[in-house]
Amino acid sequence: MRTKSPLSVQLAPGILSEIFDGIQRPLEVIAKLSDSIYIPRGIDVPPLDTTRMWEFTPSAELKKSTMLSGGDIYGTVYENNLFKFHRILLPPKAKGRIDYIAEKGMYNIDDVILCLEHDGKKTEFTMATWWPVRQARPVAEKLAGDTPLLTGQRVLDALFPSVLGGTCAIP
């Protein structure tokens, strides 16, 4: 099915707990459905589990009619033991005053947890956001890579040097 939109990934709680292939297909889910180690042609599986419930905690300082803009954190979700808090961010181009924010409780990634009003128009937000793969996420400042990433393996450290927090690939 053609969507006529760029290749995008779903950013939401659960993304750090799954194993995906290069285009965000959940490999463990596909293996259970197809009963095979190979991905069958035409299989369509959502990238993240939309039925799993997450404990959403709204940011304490947010109340009704508080002004929010892109990148603001409006809540957190417990992800797993390694990543204690998955921060829920407002999409970069969104802004407005809070009309509704969900109470602390259990929600899935498709439940509306925030509603903003801007210029008389209301916009609803869930814990999930779709983002194009080839479009960089906006950041306030890029940190300099000044600390080497030492793996302890001489071959990797000598032939494939990398910086802490940088991006690298080993062929």
Residue 103: name the closest of 95, 91, 111 by CA.
111
| pTM recorded for the entire structure | 0.78
Using an 8 Å Cβ cutoff, are 17 and 29 in contact? no
According to CATH, where is 2.40.50.100 located in the chain?
Answer: 8-132
The two three-digit tokens of residue 60, written as one number: 């304490």
Residues 6+ apart with CB under 8 A from 41: none
- The architecture that CATH gives domain 8-132 is Beta Barrel (2.40)
| 63-72: pLDDT as tens digits | 998 999 999 9
Name the pLDDT band for 115 (thresholds 50, 70, 90).
very high
| 124-164: pLDDT as tens digits | 999 999 999 999 888 888 888 889 989 899 998 898 888 98
| pLDDT value for 171 | 65
- Contacts for 131-140: CB closer than 8 Å, 24+ residues apart: 131/8, 131/9, 131/11, 132/5, 132/6, 132/7, 132/8, 133/6, 133/7, 133/8, 133/9, 134/6, 134/7, 135/6, 137/92, 138/70, 138/71, 138/92
Q: Return left, alpha or beta for 117; rule: phi > 0 is left, psi -120 to 50 is alpha, else beta.
A: beta
Q: How far apart are CA 165 and CA 11, in angstroms?
A: 20
